[in-house]
Each structure stands twice: as structure tokens, then as C-alpha cells.
Amino acid sequence: MSEAAEIQTVSAAGGKIRCDACPVMCYIAEGRAGACDRYANENGRIIRCDPLTVLDKRIAAGDPVKPFLKSNWDGTLADESAVFVTGVGAGTTYPDYKLAPFIISREIEGVDFVTVVTEAIFSYCGAKIKIDTDRHLGDETAIVRADGEAVGHVNTGEYGSQMLSLGGVTHLTGGSKGEGRVTCDTLMRLCNAEPVELTIDGGSSVVVQAGKSPIVDGKAELRMRVGCGSATIGMFASQWKGLVDEVVVVDDHITGVVSEHQAGKVLDWPDTGIRIKGRRSTPGRYFKVAEPGLGWGGTDIEDPLVILDSWNAKKGARPGLTMLMVSTTGEQFGYYVLDDNLQPQRRDLPNELNPTVELIAENCEPALCTVLFMGGAGGSLRSGVTRNPVRLTRSVQQERTRVTVGGAPAYVWPGGGITVMADVTRMPDRSFGYVPTPAIVAPLEFTTTREEYCRLGGHDEAVRTIADMLDEGGEYGDAVRGVRPPPGSHFLPRSDKD
């Protein structure tokens, strides 16, 4: 038993043990868990309720979970390079003077690597949400709410996706207790790939779940648009040549008109005399044909003809002229023929045009939600890794030390500090927890060579082998589980040879 565990045992008050795994420092009764549900009192000792998670490439499909316990482990490790110890279930470094829960050495291709794992307490963290839809969810900077509390805002839209920025220290600690509690709960559920309903001031309701289709105002989104209206024209103009006289691809951002577009000119497409009410950018490209909404191409219209002005007979408009209007996902389309008064009349879509609409739909990616966890691994967390924290920061920035989050590759932002971002779908199930300060608890791993670790001033005396870890466990117990690495998990830092 460690010195910290001994202190926990002797400091019992009324049959309870004080847990020092986070700033709340709960007194926990025998057989009960603390406020975070992550630590419990078992036989007078604070243990971690969830087992330490090891990514194991040797586990076959259909056998995703494998316990590594003394009772069924024969003590041999056939290939240390096939396993990677994550921070999931490891425990934390709090109080700040503690070493990281596990500092593990393993040999790979003759090189001694060290992986330092912990469950970091993040007050400075959030989630970046990418929602694949051309629907208008809300105005930029509009407040995003969960259970009525402000948890973030609408960010700048990107190509085919709406973006949300949630969490951050202001929402976690800078508002009311209710705002902090709901923000923390929302971040934890999103990062654990659970569905969360969010509402946007002046906009829509959307159910977000990592790796799943977004549900906007009760309707599941199925397709991410193939591109803007102009891009769609550029991709498929040749498919329409000779089948229809005019094509308009309706889009909230850039509506395309094939007869005017550069793609049409390359194909010698005849003028049609069409007029669009939006603001012309360059030939065949129109902005602001309508307001943003949930209709055609992310606009607020249900009848695409409202974006058309009168046709110009002097520039090619004539009775019998045919026109296809289609959205950027192919979900909405209409076929029209000009009458004697040059008014478009709707007709059934000819069979020969069906494949062109289906081609747009085929080229659309499935609409999904992406949840990226983002946190700042700064402060005294780094002292659990090295005696000289700034050396760790610089080693990470120089790519001599690789940072992973639950084994998932992390993007490290340039500039000061260690600000990381990771895709939660690449992490083991239920990797995230919380403490009611409030703050998010996330697994964090630093992997580097033994030589580099010593250069950083690392706690070399605390380095253990994988075999010792599996046999003895750590301060918070000896339960360990092995899972198959999710797609994209990383095992090694970048070497100087890469």
C-alpha cells in the first residue's frame, strides 16, 4: 500500500475514508463511491471503480474485452509492442505533488520507450462539434443550451457542416452553479459518445452523438452535401449536357446556374435567358438567393421557383425550354418546362435525368456528428511526469514526446502550453469522467524514449515494467482490462527517423 493510501486509511472519520483523488476530497463510507462515482471505499482502501485499460492488438474481433488479473495471467508477455497502457482507469495525479499513477517501460525494436499515464482533471476544456448538415441551425455566435443552461455558442460554419464550440472555463466555472454543472455533464456525455439534445437561441434543436447522424428538429439528417451549388455544377455539368436546357443547384451559400457557369462555358452550353434574384458573384454563382433555413439547400424556401426572376427572351428563353432544379444533397429536385408565357410549369422528372440526381446523392457523404475533446494539459499536471515541467512542454512541441488521449492521436496546438484535441470515437468506451468542482476527467498519455524521458528530468526511479503493472496494479487497485485499439490509435511517438 502506498503512503497516500496509508494516510487515507488512518484518517478515517466515522468509518469513512477521505479520498484525495480530486479537490472535492470526499469522505467515503465502506462499500460506497464518492461524488464522482469513480472512486470507492473497498475494505478500508480507496480504489478506482473502473479498471485500468490496456489497448491490446492481440485481441481478436468478437472478443473486445479481456481481463488481465493475477488469477488468469501466466506472467508472460509475448510482444510488448502489441500493448499500450492508457490513462483510462489509471487514477489521477491530484494532489499535485503525486507522481503519475503509472510510468511504464516497454521495449520496441530494441528501443526502451516510456509511457506516462494519468487521468487528468481539466477545468480548462471543451468540445468542438462538427455537424454535417446544410440546414441552418442558428446564427453565428448564438447561444447553445442544454437543459436551459448556456453551454457554448454557434461557431463559424464550414464546408457542408455547422460548427459548435461548447464548454470552456467560462461556462464551467465562470457562471452559476447550475451552468457549470450542466456544462460539465454535457461535455462528459458528448465525449463518451452519448446522445445530447442541444437547443440554439433563435434556431433549432439538434441531437448530437459522436459518430451518429444529427437529428435536427426531430428529423435525422442522412446526407452531407456534395458541395456548394457552384461546386456541384462543376462536378456534374457534363452529366446534364444534352439532357436538359438549364440546371440550377439551389444552395444557401452559392447557388449555381449551369448555362452561365464556367463549367457550362467550357461545354459550350447555350444561354437560356434565366434570371436569378440573388446577388451575382461571378458568372453562374449567386449569393443570398434566400435566407438560411431548413428548406432547399439550407435555405428557407420550399418552392425553388421563388428565386427566379422573369426570363429574358432576347437571351435564349423560349417556350418548351426545360430546367432541372436540385439541391446540393439531391434530396429535393424539380423538373420544369417554360410555357408560352415563359412561366416554368412543373413536370415529372424524365427517366434520363434520374441517374444525374441519384449521382449527386451517391456522392454525398453520410451526415455525422464529430466530437473533438479539447483541453489544456498545463499547470502542475506536468510535474507528475517530470521534475522540470517546461521541458515536457518543449519536448511535446518538438514532437520528441507524443501525446495521446486514451490511446487516440492528439493534435497539439502550436504556441505555448500543451493544448490538445482528439476525436472521442477513437478512444475506448466511457473514457471520460468528471469531478464536481466541476471539471472533466480525461485520460492522458505521454510516450517518449527512456533516454528522452531522463533528459526531461522524468521520475526515472518510478518507471515500471508492463509485467509488474499487470501483476501488482497501482495505488487504486490491480484491476486491468484489455481492449482492441480503436481505429487510429497510436502506440509510438514520432522518432527522429520519421
202 touches 139 (CB < 8 A): yes
Residue 287 lies in a domain: yes
Above pLDDT 90, what percent of the chain? 73
180 touches 173 (CB < 8 A): yes
pLDDT above 90 for 238: yes
List, in sequence order, every residue forming a beta bridge with 336; answer none if it has no partner. 323, 346
Residue 411 lies in a domain: no
Residue 331 lies in a domain: yes
Q: Each residue of 25-66: pLDDT tens digit?
A: 899 999 999 988 889 999 889 999 998 998 887 776 656 555
pLDDT above 60 for 2: no
Residue 304 lies in a domain: yes
Residue 303 lies in a domain: yes
pLDDT above 50 for 1: no
- The pLDDT score that the predictor gives to residue 83 is 84
pLDDT above 70 for 67: no
| Residue 346 to residue 338: CA distance in whole angstroms | 9
Strands 102-108 and 464-465: parallel
22 touches 98 (CB < 8 A): no
**Would you place residue 189 in the very low, low, confident or very high pLDDT band (cuts 50, 70, 90)?**
very high
- The pLDDT score that the predictor gives to residue 4 is 42
Above pLDDT 70, what percent of the chain? 91
Average pLDDT of the chain is 90
**Would you place residue 180 in the very low, low, confident or very high pLDDT band (cuts 50, 70, 90)?**
very high
Q: What's at 226, amino acid-wise?
A: V
**Would you place residue 214 in the very low, low, confident or very high pLDDT band (cuts 50, 70, 90)?**
very high
- The pLDDT score that the predictor gives to residue 3 is 40
pLDDT above 70 for 212: yes
DSSP notation for 355-382: HHHHHHHHTSPBP-EEEEEEEE--GGGG
Burial track 431-446 (b if 16+ CB lie within 10 A, e otherwise):
bbbbbbbbbbbbbbbb
Give the side-chain half-sphere CA count within 13 A for 418. Answer: 28
Average pLDDT for 87-99: 87
User: Nearest Cα to 255, choosing from 204, 299, 219?
Assistant: 299
Q: Each residue of 261-289: pLDDT tens digit?
A: 999 999 999 999 999 999 999 999 999 99
- Please give the grid coordinates belonging to residue 424: 472521442
**Would you place residue 76 in the very low, low, confident or very high pLDDT band (cuts 50, 70, 90)?**
low
Q: Compare 95 and 103 and report the one with higher pLDDT.
A: 103
135 touches 298 (CB < 8 A): yes
Q: Compare 471 and 424 and report the one with higher pLDDT.
A: 424
- The pLDDT score that the predictor gives to residue 498 is 43
* 485: preceding bond cis by omega (within 30 degrees): no
- The pLDDT score that the predictor gives to residue 470 is 85
| Residue 326 to residue 107: CA distance in whole angstroms | 58
**Would you place residue 185 in the very low, low, confident or very high pLDDT band (cuts 50, 70, 90)?**
very high
Average pLDDT for 466-478: 87
Return the CA Rg of the chain: 29
Measure CA of the first residue to CA of the last residue in the chain; give whole Å: 42
Average pLDDT for 172-196: 96
Q: What's at 50, amino acid-wise?
A: D
pLDDT above 60 for 72: no
| Residue 254 to residue 365: CA distance in whole angstroms | 19
pLDDT above 50 for 477: yes
Q: Compare 374 and 495 and report the one with higher pLDDT.
A: 374
Residue 223 lies in a domain: no
Burial track 200-214 (b if 16+ CB lie within 10 A, e otherwise):
beebbebbbbbebbb
| Residue 494 to residue 478: CA distance in whole angstroms | 31
pLDDT above 60 for 233: yes
- The pLDDT score that the predictor gives to residue 111 is 87
Residue 46 lies in a domain: no
**Would you place residue 6 in the very low, low, confident or very high pLDDT band (cuts 50, 70, 90)?**
very low
Average pLDDT for 63-90: 69
Look up the domain containing 236 and give its range.
Answer: 229-362
Number of Cβ within a 10 Å radius of residue 464: 16
- The pLDDT score that the predictor gives to residue 10 is 40
**Would you place residue 380 in the very low, low, confident or very high pLDDT band (cuts 50, 70, 90)?**
confident
Q: In angstroms, how far is CA 125 from the centroid of its own chain? A: 13
Q: Strand (E) positions, 393-489? A: 402-405, 408-409, 411-412, 419-423, 433-435, 439-449, 464-465, 480-483
**Would you place residue 81 in the very low, low, confident or very high pLDDT band (cuts 50, 70, 90)?**
confident
374 touches 187 (CB < 8 A): no
Residue 118: strand, helix, or coil: strand
pLDDT above 80 for 87: yes
Residue 375 lies in a domain: no
- The pLDDT score that the predictor gives to residue 486 is 80
Residues in contact with 32: Cβ distance below 8 Å, sequence separation at least 6, in sequence order: 40, 41
Q: Each residue of 109-165: pLDDT tens digit?
A: 888 999 999 999 999 999 999 999 988 999 999 999 999 999 999 999 998 899 999
- Number of structural domains the chain divides into: 1
Least confident range from 17-21, 80-84, 85-89: namely: 80-84
